[in-house]
């Protein structure tokens, strides 16, 4: 807005029901979730690089990629369990399969991908 222009829409004052905040504060720790997502992505990328290295005949690079994938997925699972608070909650997430829940899908992907990365 420049100096000579008039404001077209008045400034809005946000009020809520009984003075409560409109949006609740998140209950999750930002570092745990960010670490979970980052390390999971790192593990997936390392697996793809390892597969490419095996396809092109580079066994040393493939081994490094597999080890990085296993380390990344292990640390990703640890970050998720730490965010959940108790290890039993991770098992509880596996009890129910909900395709609409990102947390449920992430738990199932970790449960399937972790052992697969370990076997590779």
Chain segment 29-81, per-residue pLDDT in tens: 778 888 988 999 999 999 999 999 999 999 999 999 999 999 999 999 899 88
Q: Is 38 a member of any domain?
A: yes
Report yes or no on 59 lying in a domain: yes
Contact partners, residue 51, CB within 8 Å, separation at least 6: 62, 65
Q: What is the pLDDT of residue 38?
A: 94
Highest mean pLDDT (candidates 3-7, 14-18, 60-64):
60-64
- pLDDT recorded at residue 18: 77
* Long-range contacts of the stretch 80-89 (C-beta < 8 A, 24+): 80/32, 80/36, 80/106, 80/107, 80/110, 82/29, 82/32, 83/28, 83/29, 83/32, 83/33, 83/36
110 lies in some domain: yes
Better pLDDT: 90 or 100: 100
Residue 63 lies inside a defined structural domain of this protein: yes
Decide if 23 is inside a domain: no
The total number of structural domains in the chain stands at 1
In a domain, 17, yes or no: no
Q: Is 104 part of a structural domain of the chain?
A: yes
* pLDDT tier, 4 (very low <50, low <70, confident <90, very high otherwise): low
Q: Is residue 21 part of a domain?
A: no
Does 2 have pLDDT greater than 60?
yes
Q: Look up the pTM and report it.
A: 0.70
What is the span of the domain harbouring residue 88? 29-119
């Amino acid at each position: 807005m420049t100096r000579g222009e008039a404001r077209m829409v008045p400034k809005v004052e946000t009020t809520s029901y009984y003075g409560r905040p409109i949006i609740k504060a998140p209950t999750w720790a930002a570092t745990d979730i960010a670490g979970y997502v980052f390390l999971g992505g790192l593990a997936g990328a390392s697996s793809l690089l390892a597969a490419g290295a095996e396809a092109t005949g580079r066994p040393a690079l493939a081994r490094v990629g597999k080890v990085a994938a296993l380390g990344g997925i292990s640390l990703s699972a640890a970050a998720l369990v730490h965010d959940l608070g108790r290890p039993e909650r991770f098992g509880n997430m596996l009890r129910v399969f909900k395709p609409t829940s990102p947390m449920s899908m992430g738990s199932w992907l970790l449960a399937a991908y972790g052992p697969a990365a370990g076997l590779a």
